[in-house]
Amino acid sequence: MPKTEVILTHNIVGLGGESDQVKVAAGYARNYLFPMGFAIPVSGANKRRLEALKQRRAEREAKELNHMTEMGAALSKMTLLIKVKTGEDGKMFGSVTSGTIADELRHQYEAVLDKKKIHLPHPIKALGEHEVELRLHADVKSSLKVKVESLTPAAAPDAAATAAAPAGKDERGARGEARESRGHRQQRATAEKTEKPAGAKAEKSGEKKPKAAKA
């Protein structure tokens, strides 16, 4: 496939930035780059445009660097809260990815950040706080605190079980008191039985004495 050399007038991902001279397929240049205004043929006249293109590129990159530096400083002070669904055991359903973080940044803070700049080697699969590295620019790195919380409310204590525990304790105490009361009654009954014959004999002996005195 024949190649042709062109001068890029715009930043093309995977190909180069404005003012770069690159070789591409002739058909690609003729049917896409030239009609879209993304490149111009290499020629003596067009080479004179290189300085203007280089200047524009330098200004764009300086602006991007400044923007990313400011964004990195701001994001490093933030805590991004992400709510997730969990099971009864507290384990997450699914995971938090760089795409999730990018979406929540846009939603919560209106911060537009390409998910490719969020360096997350592995998706987050646990609740709690996580430190996420941000690679915002070749010369700018930052970090973001991500706090993952459960949408599932904490299980409330079982009211019936809570109420039953003291009741059971009181019931055991009542049974103990009842046993103790029965024991006291049995002791009194035994004592009364022991004392009653002696009293009866005393009454009988008392009755006989008047009769003996009268005779």
pLDDT of residue 214: 45
202 half-sphere exposure, CB direction, 13 A CA radius: 5
Q: How confident is the model at residue 166 (pLDDT cuts 50, 70, 90)?
A: low
Q: What is the pLDDT of residue 202?
A: 42
% pLDDT > 70, the chain: 70
My answer on whether 33 and 80 are in the same domain is no
The residue segments making up the domain with residue 123 are 73-150
How far apart are alpha carbons 191 and 207 in whole angstroms? 25
> Mean pLDDT in the chain?
81
> Can you give the CATH number for the domain in which 105 is found?
3.10.430.100
Tens digit of each residue's pLDDT (9 = 90 or more) over 32-48: 999 999 999 988 888 78
pLDDT at residue 52 is higher than 80 = yes
Q: How many domains does the chain have?
A: 3
Question: 3-state SS of 17-44?
Answer: CCCCEEEEEHHHHHHHHHHHCCEEECCH
185 or 95: which leads in pLDDT: 95
pLDDT of residue 9: 92
Mean pLDDT score, 82-91: 90
Residues 146 and 84 in one domain: yes
